[in-house]
Structure 1
Amino acid sequence: MSSGNSIDEKTAAHVEKGDVLHAEVLKDNALLNDAFDGENHEHQETVWQAAKSHPMACLWAFIMCFTIVMESFDMFLNGNFVALPSFAKRYGVLVDGKYTIPTKWQSALFQSGQCGAFVGVFLAGPITNRIGYRWTTIVALLLMNATIFVSFFADSLAVLTVGQALEGVPWGLFIANSPAYASEVVPLALRGAVTSTLQMSWSIGSIIVAAATLGYNKRDDEWSWRVPLALQWIFPTPLLIFIFFAPESPWWLARRGRKEEALNSVRRLSSKTEDPAQKLAMIERTVEIEAAQGGDPTLLDLFRGTDRRRTIIICLMYASQNFAGNLIANQATFFFEQAGIASDRAFQLNLINSCLQFVANVLALPLSAWFGRRTIYLWGTAINVMFLFILGICASVKQTQSTSFAQACLGVIISFVFAGAMGPSSYTTISETSSVRLRALSTGVGRAAYYVAEIPMIYLASQMLNATGWNLAGKCGFVWGGTALVCWILAYFGLPELKHRSYREIDILFHRKVPARKFKSTVIDVKENE
């Protein structure tokens, strides 16, 4: 009998047996042995081996992560609107012979989408737990298509602000589900690489925005901003079609007790030489270990027992993205102008900055295979702390053309480091830290923490850069350098190393209350359940 037939027969037997003994997987030796073998196989695979044997898992994970391009597109678009001469002339006020958008409306445009997304991330958990990652994303894409109409036809800053708030709701669904889905459909060796592509989607969105606004910034009519707004319709429909045919996460299906569908999903995501029964048994084992610790997941569970620590780590990792120079990247064009760069050159520099961020994202993929998440985050943050303080110093001396150029270059370097280090490693850590049972809820609450931190920080950033505010320009480096230093200290003492750890091992490490700096060195046997 061929090896393939043996695997199929074994799988069929596992499903038939498992349908009856789903809750007994921890007591059945045959199922446990399959779980041991499945986990050992994942530990033995290298990144390259896993990528070659799981091409479809990589594809579906990337497509789901690509939904983030829509939030990225709009975030960077708003940042560029305030720098568009025609937009500023239409909706701004005259300050020192130059039109500028008042600080309150600048903040409103930046914050409205995040307020909508704040609502979306809280809806994501309950909706996903009920209908799954796939259908939740499809609903969000339909909603995205509809809400773009409000922004496109807006004829005032007030209506545009409302449109951004409505668009924010599906953003929240995308950002809550993407890292969770991506981390669940790929094998252990690929978790770091595929979740890093979330940051790549941000860069792709910024490149499209930078190119579109560069091409239209010289127009003196409403189409200079309406055409870039219309470009948002490029993404939802094609993504909707792809995701309709995507497999649901086998982990979500196993949690819902839909074993046969979970097995079909594993087959679609795995290689032909892999035993689906072993992987399904591994999934069931982890699901049952977690189920024994609690019933149906609720938001309150995130703040009980060892899950409280995991929730705090996720929230701090998400929130810290706003404190290490990322807001300079989000408002790059406006920052370049405030640093003394001419408007047209600022748009060109923004496109270069966006392309360099994409290069940094690509470099982050092998980086995640060579180094741990904790190592990448700590070193990346330390480097940016240094550059942010240098930026502040450059802005504090007598200003010349050279100091303006230096500030612009430092802004690009800070964005590059964030895109290659803290950004990708944050998404990986967020997707791995939560328990499987609470993942849909914890990624949503974690992203909510991001918006809680970002909304006031956007106001602060606008106030620091705007000529009608504090007009600090590059001196904001002192502020962001200080906040980034606080992030580094918190991460040094609280951020665990989760590379090469299965979800079962991560559960055990948190359950045993292992200190963050000892996660890497602690040995967990494959047969241990608690």
Structure 2
Amino acid sequence: MPSTSVANQSKWNGNVEIYPNSDDDVGNYIARAALAKTAFVLEDAKAATTEEHELTLAEAFKHHKKAIFWAAVLSLTIVMEGYDNILISSFYGYPSFQRKYGEPVGDGSYQLSGKWQSALGAASSVGTIFGVFANGFLIERFGHRMVIMASLVVMSAFIFIPFFAPSVGILVFGQVMCGLPWGIFATMGPTYSSEVCPMALRGHLTAYVNMCWAIGQFIAAGVLQGLVDNTTEWSYRVPFAVQWAWPIPLFILTFLAPNSPWWLVRKGDHEGAEKSLKRLASKAVHHRIPNQVALMIHTNALEQAQHQSKSNDEKGWRGYLQCFKGTNLRRTEIACMAIAGQVASGSTLMYSPSYFFSNAGLSADNVYKLNLGVTGISFTGCVVSWFLLPNFGRRTIYVTGYTILSIFLLLTAILATPNQSDGLQWTQAVFTIIWVGTYASTIGPLGFTILSEISATRLRAQTVAIGRNAYNLISLISQVIEPYMINPTEGNLKGKTAYIWFGTAFPTLLWCYFRLPETKGRTYEELDILFERRIGARKFSSTEVELEHVEVDLPGTKE
């Protein structure tokens, strides 16, 4: 950048002094913008865009280790949601849990009724829906760190309810209350990761969110397997108590984490954004930070200009309303479908193998070994997705994965139709493992990546919240109807339930082909321009984009 005649702005307060040959930093950039209006903003934003495109994956890992660390740490809060997600559904086939909360079925065994299974399955989703919407308000007001820390405190208190629940009704209430902070965690990880990582790492760290789910599910499966022979009440209380292990260390780490630089830019704290970026990158690339801040400021200004919004138009309910106006409506549709498509793919059935296969006739020991294997494969699939992301587009991975999932749903349903034998049961088990592996390496992680990337930066918290609640609402419906379809005292469809889920998966696959755009290798400003031009989904990857001139209102720039 030019340094022969630059300006320095002390403390970003609008007091501009001109002097030659000073070190170029963000303060100098702002003061130069004060002299040259928006010319330098566009120039430096273009330079940052070029740097983003030229940054290789190896260089990103080398120079942005701290960004990787902090994104990974704050996303670990999702482990708790993943843990409980599989915990409750796995309890349905757990002997001691059935005796405590179930009813006798006549042969000396106990069964939790379909009504209470539906209530338990839906309870956390109800709480999560409210938590997700609340987060859309809280992030923009208080920032990621403060909201996470407060939620961890609340979470620690709410765990007492399911731990001591004397009845299934109290257990349902406890799940609703725990769902409130889970909703906040569910949207916090992808939004924070998408805002602290460079473009080369964006897909990996947002996809890592799905791995956190898998980690939680793997821990839950291991805990359940270790307690399956325990016939006391501690066999189901201990799994609840394990959740107290996470809040304290996560609270400390979150307190030490940097704020999102994008959030700071939206708040007008450009100096704070500079400091945050310096904490997220190695000193070797600190000279690029002025350009990065310029790109953030220019993107923010472009989005305001595109939607003719004022600085407070994205706050409160106004932000949610903005998501359904103009080109934001299309982006909201994509966010909702990409993440809700995870449920439409049949995950409610395939990610509850314990109850599914216990009703299919497998022994309790084999069921929980299978459950542990499924969650292990889910974890491995997330790692596989990291190798797919640099080599294939988001759209390609998602559509291919959805095609494979639809095929294996249909095959599972066909095998479940005739009278069952050991061979058919184990073949269905193998298909389930293949399905989970495919899901975990394709639409599982990519759903979070697309959800995090697709929105305008000024509406990211609200768009992610709407998308995640689309997922929650569909998940809520699936958790209500799935027990009735599979329960031996209700629909007793067993594996034939896969026919139902194929009926939702195939139309979603068609939507993906015609409506899902490619976001790989695009900066957030480039995506803004592509959506503003209304480029078709299948033409996103091939369309050339040039950054546009836009008026930028900065401290010290007004005459």
- C-alpha contact (below 8 Å) 1:79/1:332 kept by paired residues: no
Secondary structure at 1:273 match in 2: helix
Cα deviation, residue 240, structure 1: 1.0
Question: Which of 529, 543, 548 in structure 2 is aligned with 1:522?
Answer: 543
Question: Which of 131, 134, 153 in structure 2 is aligned with 1:120?
Answer: 131
Secondary structure at 1:437 match in 2: helix
Structure-2 change in CA distance of 1:128 and 1:272 (3 Å): same
Secondary structure at 2:420 match in 1: coil
Matched residue, 1:144: 155
Superposed, 1:92-131 pairs within 5 Å as: 92-95=102-105, 97=107, 98-131=109-142
Question: Which of 366, 374, 380 in structure 2 is aligned with 1:359?
Answer: 380
Secondary structure at 1:412 match in 2: helix
Question: Which of 38, 42, 46 in structure 2 is aligned with 1:32?
Answer: 42
Matched residue, 2:14: none
TM superposition score normalised by structure 1: 0.95
- 1:470 equivalent in alignment to 2:491: yes
Give CA deviations for 1:113-158 in whole Å, capped at 9, x if unaligned: 0000000011001111101111111111111111111111111111
Q: Within 2, Cα distance between the matches of 1:414 and 1:58?
A: 29
Cα deviation, residue 527, structure 1: 5.2
- Look up the equivalent residue of 1:408 and give its one-letter code: A
- C-alpha contact (below 8 Å) 2:395/2:518 kept by paired residues: yes
Cα deviation, residue 8, structure 1: 8.9
Cα deviation, residue 271, structure 1: 2.6
Aligned identity (percent) is 38
Give CA deviations for 1:5-35 in whole Å, capped at 9, x if unaligned: x9992115436528x85xx99x432332222
Secondary structure at 1:322 match in 2: helix
Give CA deviations for 1:405-425 in whole Å, capped at 9, x if unaligned: 111121221111111101111
- C-alpha contact (below 8 Å) 2:525/2:547 kept by paired residues: no
Matched residue, 1:336: 357
TM superposition score normalised by structure 2: 0.91
Matched residue, 2:448: 427
- Look up the equivalent residue of 1:303 and give its one-letter code: F
Secondary structure at 1:303 match in 2: coil
Give runs of ≥4 in structure 1 deviating > 6 Å: none
Superposed, 1:264-275 pairs within 5 Å as: 264-274=275-285, 275=288
Q: Within 1, Cα distance between the matches of 2:27 and 2:197?
A: 24
Cα deviation, residue 165, structure 1: 0.4
- Look up the equivalent residue of 1:264 and give its one-letter code: K
- C-alpha contact (below 8 Å) 1:121/1:173 kept by paired residues: yes
Matched residue, 1:303: 324
Question: Which of 218, 222, 233 in structure 2 is aligned with 1:211?
Answer: 222
- C-alpha contact (below 8 Å) 2:27/2:271 kept by paired residues: no
- Look up the equivalent residue of 1:49 and give its one-letter code: E
Q: Within 1, Cα distance between the matches of 2:392 and 2:145?
A: 31
Structure-2 change in CA distance of 1:241 and 1:12 (3 Å): same
Q: Within 2, Cα distance between the matches of 1:289 and 1:527?
A: 8
Matched residue, 1:242: 253
Superposed, 1:339-488 pairs within 5 Å as: 339-488=360-509
Aligned length: 522
Q: Which has more radius of gyration?
A: 2
Q: Within 2, Cα distance between the matches of 1:493 and 1:14?
A: 46
Q: Within 2, Cα distance between the matches of 1:14 and 1:166?
A: 49
- Look up the equivalent residue of 1:424 and give its one-letter code: P
- Look up the equivalent residue of 1:277 and give its one-letter code: P
Q: Within 2, Cα distance between the matches of 1:494 and 1:431?
A: 17
Superposed, 1:144-223 pairs within 5 Å as: 144-223=155-234
Q: Give structure 2 stretches of 5+ with no counterpart.
A: 4-19, 552-559
Q: Give structure 1 stretches of 5+ with no counterpart.
A: none
- C-alpha contact (below 8 Å) 1:376/1:422 kept by paired residues: yes
Q: Within 2, Cα distance between the matches of 1:88 and 1:392?
A: 28
- C-alpha contact (below 8 Å) 2:381/2:437 kept by paired residues: yes
- C-alpha contact (below 8 Å) 1:391/1:410 kept by paired residues: yes
